[in-house]
Amino acid sequence: MTSSSYGSTRLEAAGFVVHPARRAAAEAARAIGGWLEERGVRTPTIAGDDAEDEEAAREFARGLDLVLSVGGDGTFLRAARVASVSGIPVLGVKVGRMGFLTEVEPDQATAVLERMLDGSARIEERLAVVAEGSSFEPQWALNEVIVEKSARHRLIRLAVFVDDAYVTTFSADGVISATPTGSTAYSFSAGGPIVSPSVPCIVVTPIAAHMVFDRSLVLAPDQRVRLEVLGEEPGLLSADGRHSLELPVGSTVQIERAPTPARFVRREDAPSFHDLVRD
């Protein structure tokens, strides 16, 4: 889903999530942060790697009105998770290769932030998902949740249920549950469809399935996916590429629409989704 809105947005504190290894990202964050501080906005900063820690992300997000990602799409995914804690918008400042998620070049950021300050910024909402299980804390994801094999030369067997109805069992390298935003990421590489962000859905795509049926399932946004680890091989769970969590045989993972969407700050002349796909 996508929906755009304009409205008054208080901007007293803007937190920066910065790529830890790119000097250009640190320099851009300092310049943008200085511009905001001149206008009375607090600008705490956290490194992208540190933002992966659940407790650190919650503490950092407290009291923020905006999160700025300075780096590439990986940094943006970490920043979006931080922003999701408080339901605040995130703005992606692109430093490095072109990405689907980062919105502006460093020299364009202040023009967008001016619109945040005067309450006229365009905010776009995107569907996100959350994965839950008995052995781990809920895992929020903007792109995808992956359940995959833990041993390189083995396969994992995953039973797939949709709203408690059994669908199939994949014998594969893994299964991806992707959002429309994530349809152009790992799901696309695994043969899944390209989905416009304006189409609310969850896409379930097997990774290198060793069976005749190896197609994606496109589900309604309010349907629930349940994956059960069968057989003898345990699995791993990862949300948006974060640290993998172990899934013993018999584990169950439920993936469904997150209670609140991700919120992107968009510039007025932002390229369309299909422009990005073409480029």
Digit-coded pLDDT (tens) for 112-144: 999 999 989 999 999 999 999 999 999 999 999
How many C-beta atoms surround the C-beta of residue 179 within 10 A? 30
Supply the mean pLDDT for the chain. 91
pTM, rounded to two decimals: 0.91
Higher pLDDT, 271 or 130: 130
User: What pLDDT score was predicted for residue 124?
Assistant: 93
Active site residue 73: yes
Among the listed residues 116, 69, 114, the one whose alpha carbon sits nearest the alpha carbon of residue 96: 69
Q: Which residue is catalytic, options 49, 50, 65, 73? A: 73
**Tokens, residue 20:** 């830890």
User: What pLDDT score was predicted for residue 56?
Assistant: 87
Sheet strand arrangement including 245-247: 217-219, 202-207, 174-178, 144-149, 235-239, 245-247
Which DSSP symbol is given to 211? S
pLDDT band at 205 (very low <50, low <70, confident <90, very high): very high
Share of the chain above pLDDT 90, in %: 78
Q: Contact at 8 Å (CB) between 254 and 147?
A: no
